[in-house]
Amino acid sequence: MAALWTPSLLLSACLLGCLGLTPLTELPQPHNQPTSLGFNSSDGSLFVDVPMALRVFSVDYHHVQAPFEIVLWIMLASLAKLGFHWSGRVPAVVPESCLLIMVGLLVGGVIYGVRHSAPPTLSADAFFLFLLPPIVLDAGYFLPGRLFFENLGTILWYAVLGTLWNVLGIGLSLYGVCVLAQSSLGDVSLLHCLLFGSLIAAVDPVAVLSVFQEMHVNEQLHILVFGESLLNDAVTVVLYKLFESFLRLPSVSGLDVLLGGCRVVVVGLGGLFVGLFFGLVAALTSRFTSRAQVIAPLFVFLYSYLSYLTSEMLHLSGIMAIVTCAVTMKQYVEANVSERSNTSIQYFLKMWSSVSETLIFIFLGVSTIQDVHMWSWPFVCSTLLLCLVWRATGVLLLTAVVNKLRRNAVTFRDQFIIAYGGLRGAICFSLVFLIDDFPKKRLFITTTIVVILFTVFVQGMTIKPLVELLDVKRKKRALPTVSEEIHSRLIDLLLAGIEDVVGYWGQHYWKDKFEQFNRKYLRRFLIREDHQARSSILRVYQELERREQRGDEEAPPPLVDPRSHSRPLLPEEMDSIRRILSRNLQNFNNKQTPAYSRHTLHQDATIDKTRRPLHIQQSLGYTYNTITHWSQVMNASKHTVCSISPRPTLQDSSVPAASAQAGPVDPKSSAAREDQVSPQHQVPVGRAPKKQLSFVLENEKQQ
Amino acid sequence: MGSSSSSMDHIPNAEELMQETGFSAAHLLRLYERFEFLDKDQTGELRPEDFGAIGGLALNPIGDRIISAFFSPGQETVDFPSFVRVLAHFRPNGTNRTRNGTQQEPVNSRTRKLKFAFQLYDQDRDGKISRAELLQVLRAMLGIQVTEEQLQSIAERAIQEADLDRDDAISFDEFKKVQQVSPHPQTPTKETPLHPTEGGR
């Protein structure tokens, strides 16, 4: 679809023309201060010069300049994104971030060519206050909670220790390089190197997300890399500010270093608590939005943004605050708020984060076109090399330790992806601009840009082929037979089941405690009365429907075709069988689908959990007792809603306490249920039953 | 987690159980506490509903089979010794202790594990996995994404590979033979939760 490139390019060119044709006079800006985004000052407006008469037609650009330019940039970003998705095979090879940076380079070059001065750069304030929060909020809201908390120890391990390792390693080695190259780099002090190390070592969530989008890794790996990139913000920010304040101090004592260590903890935990507070308040507010459903989504955004701003104000970790806020309020808000509001929230989050990300990458490209770059071969090359080396060794060492404590070991392939997928992005870029001025600041800026471009382009583009290479190499050793595949998956499931039976003390102990606390206090307080019961009944009803449908499917005896007994299977059939098995059987433990998707609303991700076929106790034959028991429960209409204690999650609620009265089995409803049992395989989760249920509930409500 | 000596008295036949299964005292205590936790109405025995209340098990495609594996055929309840005996199959390998030097096969040997897995397929306990039983398991594991014909052909292929005596069913020996080439079906790290020193991870 290369043909569609041309119109989008043409449109972009028109937009650029508008940008370029803005009045050419601008106040000269000192280079050291980042010029703010697109805010050119101009002398006056253009008028059609008709002296002394009524102006029929006039152009007053000055009046609308600021919003107009902002809109133009956003429009450019969105059109570029559209063009990217229509461009056929390109997305498979080149990640979106690379293309966007290239567009940015192009635009920057055009602007430079037209104006002969540096194009507007990304101001740190605009980035941190406006562009970063939507992305992090989106990531936090769609974070797969259970997976995240299961791997929290590992993630923290990588984030805190790994970042420390990287920062100190890179900083010290760079200082060594500077000492070695005394002639050109002699005036870069140790503290400067450490400062630079602290900002260049941080893995960037935006870049990581955009690359992992196209790479289908399993959930666990995804959450490890992504969680690390989110949580290392605390460490990065603290170290950066620490070294910066050290630079301003006349001397640094051991006490200062110790205080710095305390600061890390304070910043991280402080951000966490701020986020928790705002999350709970948001959940509570959403409880009362039933009469003004349209503004319910607004509260989600406002509270999250407020948490971010508050923690930034207190010099705490804003990213941690907003992520915590999102994670906290999600379950309560989803229960409290109507379906449509939920969809709106999700959609808006996706939209804003998408636009934000696109803008960031484009501006990265634009800002690369600068007037003055300072280049130094040893510094730049050694930085690149050191980043890779230190990250690789850090990941290897940390994983060796952490594998002993983990249930699912982090394999070598995973380690490679973690190490190689540590992309740097716009956070480094903004941080480097905020450094106080010193002679070699330009060098730092140039190096940062080079590192970012290198990681995004080279690492971003090659990580997918490399991973496939690694996979293929291992696969060639032996193709397992079908029986082995089936059996190994069975063993996986069996072990998972046994672990569930035994009760996994390390993690689930606290999880169970939290769930109890959640159920007893938080949910009662934060979720609307009638919504508590409805959600659980709805889920149980769906579960029953599904059980019935599964029961029906197994009823017709499988027709064994005696002819097929002796027919050997063709290799194509063998391959297709293998493909089916690996695709489907892996879905339980090692999901290949990304838990977080940038471009689509993964509705399946949340609904899937309730849709998985549930085979509880079918072979034991007492299902029918349960069903009739439940039908009694359902039909004791008025009393049903109140008497069932809230059972929040599907996981805990397979058999509720026998609190229902024994009413007569209503023949009408069970007959109606039978009608809806669909005979075909491809089972939709019954939409008809849902309607019936809501009808029943509505009846109850009207009483 | 509380003094072990007093609580061990609650466990009937603790010494014998420890010998038979190879669990240590601390392990046994943990399992007993778990048993009591699962036993919601404190009858001293577990029923299928108690197992059903376990969260992750409900979502497990073969969850019901695992549950039924705990119950001997015909029994409605599981008492603590039976509970422990079943779990002993999955005891971590490192702590094999044969107290009285008997030469019997350790409870958690590979064969015993395979036998356990075999019973998951073989629901009617006739010692063979028939085509129908294999189909049931496949249907449970593969869910609804696979059509009936594909399921049939997968089951067909599996039986072809394993069935050596051409009786259209897989006996335990054939099952073992097929699994000879596959790696050991469990990893020690998975069993670390049974290790008594864990508080958190």
% of chain A exceeding 70 in pLDDT: 63
Residue of B nearest to A515 (CA): B55
Q: How many CB atoms lie within 10 A of CB A491?
A: 20
Predicted local distance difference test score (pLDDT) of residue B153: 80
Is the residue at A598 inside a domain?
Answer: no
In three state form, how does the secondary structure of A567-611 look? Answer: CCCCHHHHHHHHHHHHHHHCCCCCCCCCCCCCCCCCHHHHHHHHH
> Does residue A454 sit in the same domain as residue A503?
no
Minimum distance, in Å, between the CA of residue A599 and any CA atom of chain B: 24
pLDDT of A659 above 50? no
Please give the Cα distance from A282 to A303 (Å, whole number): 6
Residue A463 has phi, psi (to 5 degrees) of: -65, -35
Predicted local distance difference test score (pLDDT) of residue A13: 54
- Interchain pair B157, A620: CB under 8 A: no
Please give the Cα distance from A29 to A522 (Å, whole number): 54
Find residue B46's DSSP bridge partners.
B78
Please give the Cα distance from A420 to A423 (Å, whole number): 8
Predicted local distance difference test score (pLDDT) of residue A313: 92
| Closest by Cβ to A652, choosing from B55, B142, B192 | B55
Please give the Cα distance from B121 to B132 (Å, whole number): 10
Q: How many CB atoms lie within 10 A of CB A319?
A: 31
Please give the Cα distance from A326 to A322 (Å, whole number): 6
CB pairs under 8 A between A and B: 214
More confident residue, A37 or A202: A202
> What is the number of alpha carbons within 13 Å of residue B76 lying toward its C-beta?
3
Supply the DSSP symbol for A33.
S
More confident residue, A411 or A650: A411
| Closest by Cβ to A681, choosing from B120, B137, B147 | B147
The stretch A646-653 carries a mean pLDDT of 36
Q: Which of A93-97, A460-464, B89-93 has the lowest mean pLDDT?
A: B89-93
- Summarised one tens digit per residue, pLDDT across range A568-597 is 556 666 666 666 666 665 544 433 344 455
Q: Which helix (H) or strand (E) holds B46?
A: strand B45-46
- Interchain pair B156, A569: CB under 8 A: yes
Last residue of a domain, one of A441, A470, A499: A470
- What CA–CA distances, in Å, run from A654 to A513, A536, B59? 19, 10, 10
Task: Select, from the ranges A474-478, A597-601, B26-30, the one with the highest average predicted confidence (pLDDT).
Answer: B26-30
pLDDT of B176 above 90? no
pLDDT of A41 above 70? no
Nearest to B120 by CA among B141, B148, B93: B141
| Closest by Cβ to B154, choosing from A577, A609, A615 | A577
Predicted local distance difference test score (pLDDT) of residue A302: 93
Nearest to B97 by CA among B86, B87, B108: B108
Find residue B130's DSSP bridge partners.
B169
Q: The tokens of A532 are what?
A: 């508590």
CB A595 within 8 A of CB A605: yes
DSSP code per residue over A381-392: HHHHHHHHHHHH
Please give the Cα distance from A465 to A610 (Å, whole number): 35
- Interchain pair A483, B51: CB under 8 A: no
Q: Which helix (H) or strand (E) holds B130?
A: strand B128-130
pLDDT of B45 above 60? yes
Q: Which of A283-297, A338-352, A685-699 has the lowest mean pLDDT?
A: A685-699
Predicted local distance difference test score (pLDDT) of residue A510: 64
Is the residue at A556 inside a domain?
Answer: no
pLDDT of A275 above 90? yes
What is the separation of C-alpha A227 from the centre of its chain, rounded to a whole number of angstroms?
9
pLDDT of A276 above 90? yes
The stretch A457-481 carries a mean pLDDT of 71
> Does residue A397 sit in the same domain as residue A495?
no
Is the residue at A691 inside a domain?
Answer: no
Give the CATH number, domain containing residue A373. Answer: 1.20.1530.20
Domain tally, chain A: 2
Find residue B169's DSSP bridge partners.
B130
pLDDT of A619 above 50? no
* pLDDT class of A434 with cuts at 50, 70, 90: confident
Mean pLDDT of chain A: 70
Nearest to A366 by CA among A34, A7, A27: A34
Predicted local distance difference test score (pLDDT) of residue A547: 53
- Interchain pair B201, A153: CB under 8 A: yes
Task: Select, from the ranges A321-330, A487-496, B28-37, the one with the highest average predicted confidence (pLDDT).
Answer: A321-330
- Interchain pair B141, A497: CB under 8 A: no
Is the residue at A657 inside a domain?
Answer: no
Minimum distance, in Å, between the CA of residue B201 and any CA atom of chain A: 5
Is the residue at A427 inside a domain?
Answer: yes
> Does residue A494 sit in the same domain as residue A455?
no
Model confidence, pTM = 0.62
- Interchain pair A503, B34: CB under 8 A: yes
Minimum distance, in Å, between the CA of residue B131 and any CA atom of chain A: 8
% of chain A exceeding 90 in pLDDT: 8
Amino acid at A632: Q
Predicted local distance difference test score (pLDDT) of residue A597: 55
Predicted local distance difference test score (pLDDT) of residue A520: 75
* pLDDT class of A48 with cuts at 50, 70, 90: low
Please give the Cα distance from A235 to A267 (Å, whole number): 8
| Closest by Cβ to A588, choosing from B61, B71, B185 | B61
Mean pLDDT of chain B: 71
CB B190 within 8 A of CB A499: yes
pLDDT of A625 above 50? no
> Does residue A141 sit in the same domain as residue A180?
yes
Q: Which of A581-585, B2-6, B30-34 has the lowest mean pLDDT?
A: B2-6
Chain B CB contacts of A678 under 8 Å are none
Chain A CB contacts of B68 under 8 Å are 619-620
> Does residue A269 sit in the same domain as residue A394?
yes
CB A320 within 8 A of CB A275: yes
Q: How many CB atoms lie within 10 A of CB A281?
A: 18
- Interchain pair B52, A617: CB under 8 A: yes
Predicted local distance difference test score (pLDDT) of residue A126: 83
- What CA–CA distances, in Å, run from B18 to B22, B38, B95, B191? 5, 21, 12, 18
CB A646 within 8 A of CB A640: no
For residue B56, give the 3-state DSSP assignment.
Answer: helix
Please give the Cα distance from A490 to B62 (Å, whole number): 8
Please give the Cα distance from B134 to B124 (Å, whole number): 12
What is the separation of C-alpha B70 from the centre of its chain, rounded to a whole number of angstroms?
7
> Does residue A366 sit in the same domain as residue A508?
no
Minimum distance, in Å, between the CA of residue A558 and any CA atom of chain B: 7
Predicted local distance difference test score (pLDDT) of residue A666: 38
Q: Which of A63-72, A158-167, A476-485, B95-104 has the lowest mean pLDDT?
A: B95-104
pLDDT of A306 above 70? yes
> Does residue A378 sit in the same domain as residue A493?
no
Predicted local distance difference test score (pLDDT) of residue A2: 46
* pLDDT class of A353 with cuts at 50, 70, 90: confident
Is the residue at A245 inside a domain?
Answer: yes
* pLDDT class of A541 with cuts at 50, 70, 90: low
> Does residue A382 sit in the same domain as residue A496?
no
- Interchain pair B158, A483: CB under 8 A: yes
For residue B114, give the 3-state DSSP assignment.
Answer: helix
> Does residue A147 sit in the same domain as residue A219?
yes
Please give the Cα distance from B82 to A205 (Å, whole number): 50
Residue A231 burial (10 A CB sphere; 0-12, 13-18, 19+): buried
Residues in chain A: 703
> Does residue A311 sit in the same domain as residue A353?
yes
List all residues 6 or more positions away from A238 whose beta carbon is below 8 Å from its beta carbon.
Answer: A260, A263, A264, A267, A268, A317
Find residue B45's DSSP bridge partners.
B79
∠ CA A226-A229-A234, nearest 5°, is: 140
Chain A CB contacts of B187 under 8 Å are 409
Residue pointed to by tokens 């008997």 = B102
The sign of the CA dihedral A89, A95, A98, A100 is: positive
pLDDT of A496 above 70? yes
DSSP code per residue over A278-332: HHHHHHHHHHTGGG-GGGHHHHHHHHHHHHHHHHHHTTS-HHHHHHHHHHHHHHH
For residue B78, give the 3-state DSSP assignment.
Answer: strand
DSSP code per residue over A74-126: HHHHHHHHHHHHTSTTHHHHS-HHHHHHHHHHHHHHHHHHHHSSPPPP--HHH
Find residue B170's DSSP bridge partners.
B129
Domain that holds residue A489: 484-530
Is the residue at A18 inside a domain?
Answer: no
Predicted local distance difference test score (pLDDT) of residue B1: 42
- Summarised one tens digit per residue, pLDDT across range A117-170 is 777 777 778 888 998 899 889 888 888 777 788 788 888 888 888 998 999 999
Last residue of a domain, one of A530, A545, A565: A530
CB A270 within 8 A of CB A311: yes
pLDDT of A606 above 80? no
DSSP code per residue over A200-269: HSPPPHHHHHHHHHHS---HHHHHHHHHHHHHHHHHHHHHHHHHHHHHHSS---HHHHHHHHHHHHHHHH
Residue pointed to by tokens 């971030």 = A97
DSSP code per residue over A524-535: HHHS-HHHHHHH
> Does residue A358 sit in the same domain as residue A507?
no
> Does residue A406 sit in the same domain as residue A494?
no
Q: The tokens of A627 are what?
A: 């069903």
Find residue B79's DSSP bridge partners.
B45
Reported ipTM exceeds the 0.85 cut: no
Q: How many CB atoms lie within 10 A of CB B107?
A: 18
Please give the Cα distance from B134 to A553 (Å, whole number): 15
- Interchain pair A614, B152: CB under 8 A: no
Chain B CB contacts of A546 under 8 Å are none
- Summarised one tens digit per residue, pLDDT across range A210-256 is 777 766 677 778 888 888 888 887 778 778 888 887 888 777 778 87
Is the residue at A195 inside a domain?
Answer: yes
Amino acid at B127: G
CB B186 within 8 A of CB B90: yes
